Amino acid sequence: MNHTNLFKTGSVNERFQYYEKLVAELTMMSDMFMRNVLNILECAEYVLRVITENDDLELTEVVVQKDYKNLQGRSAILDCVAVNGRKEIYDIEVQQEKAGAIPKRLRYHSSIIDVHSLYTGEEFEKLPESKVIFIVDEESDAGVEPILHIKRTVRETGGDYNDKSEIIYINARMKEDTELGRLMHDFHCTKAEDMYSEVLAKRVRVLKETREGVETMCKEMDKIYQVGEECGKEKGKYETAMKLLELGAREDMIAEAVGHSVEEIKRWKNDMKRQ
């Protein structure tokens, strides 16, 4: 039964079994799955402590899919926004393709956080420190560092401009024998038992190995399909397939979901890479 029939006529158990197989293949390099791991404050805190090399970092708030509205231009929905006790803001994003993390996009994420951080009439000095973190699943080139810290500097002196904003770019493929490398290993694990971090593994077990967790992911998958349905039959299938590809689902499972051949899914995948 393909996803169309499953969604419309399948029983609760049939849908659960289908989604259970799909969820089993997901990793934290899927933005949807990552959000459902990091919506637990302890998990987000652990990830940020590793990335910032600050074991004392304590979060007070985590919001996933935070919608930053821009009435004059493009809005943005950020994967995971966290705030610590000093009101410093962290935006964590994952990208399957390097093309989704171009420098101007990272700059835009930083700017849209800024414009939503001050109330009318507030002094600019109250603008909080911010870190935009992009974890990108790209091929590793020789000489490329696993993590890049990007800040504004003064060209004439080489000094830090000290505007309290920073972009952190992480190559998720570089799984060195370091704390960051082990974290990136965990981001690629499909099974909790293979993860180094017990904090993250505990949450992954809930999402993959309990009925409650899989049902949570079922609701997320249904949203994807509903969006596809709203786009029209064939276009909807394409939109659904593209989203499932972004999530890291296997090509054969996507083909089953949308009622197309594996060869067609591969063609769509190649077309997506060329865009």
Three-state SS for the chain is CCHHHHHHHCCHHHHHHHHHHHHHCCCCCCHHHHHHHHCCHHHHHHHHHHHHCCCCCCEEEEEEEEEECCCCCCCEEEEEEEEECCCCEEEEEEECCHHHHCHHHHHHHHHHHHHCCCCCCCCHHHCCCEEEEEEECCCCCCCCCCEEEECCECCCCCCECCCCEEEEEEECCCCCCCHHHHHHHHHCCCCHHHCCCHHHHHHHHHHHHCHHHHHHHHHHHHHHHHHHHHCCHHHHHHHHHHHHHHHCCCHHHHHHHHCCCHHHHHHHHHHHHHC
Does residue 32 have a pLDDT over 90? no
pLDDT of res. 254: 78
Report how far residue 85's alpha carbon sits from residue 133's, in angstroms, rounded to the nearest whole number: 19
Contact in structure between 33 and 94 (CB atoms under 8 Å): no
Which of 37-46, 171-180, 192-201, 215-224 is predicted least confidently? 215-224
* 146: CB partners within 8 A, 6+ apart: 170, 171, 174, 176, 178, 180, 181, 184
Does residue 144 have a pLDDT over 90? no
Q: What is the mean pLDDT of the chain?
A: 85
* Cα 35 to Cα 105, 141, 217, 222, 223, distances in angstroms: 20, 28, 11, 16, 15
pLDDT of res. 234: 64
Report how far residue 125's alpha carbon sits from residue 225's, in angstroms, rounded to the nearest whole number: 45
Task: State mean pLDDT over 6-19.
Answer: 65
pLDDT band for 141, please (50, 70, 90 cuts): low
pLDDT of res. 121: 92
> What's the sign of the alpha-carbon dihedral 195, 201, 187, 131?
negative
Q: pLDDT (tens digit, 9 = 90+) per residue, 59-118?
A: 999 999 899 988 788 889 899 999 999 999 999 999 887 878 889 999 999 999 999 999
> Which residue has 């998990």 as its token pair?
43
pLDDT of res. 257: 72
Integer-rounded Cα radius of gyration of the chain: 20
Which structure tokens are listed for 47? 């990830």
pLDDT of res. 249: 73
Which structure tokens are listed for 273? 């890479």
pTM: 0.81
pLDDT of res. 145: 85
pLDDT of res. 93: 95
Question: What is the number of alpha carbons within 13 Å of residue 92 lying toward its C-beta?
Answer: 29
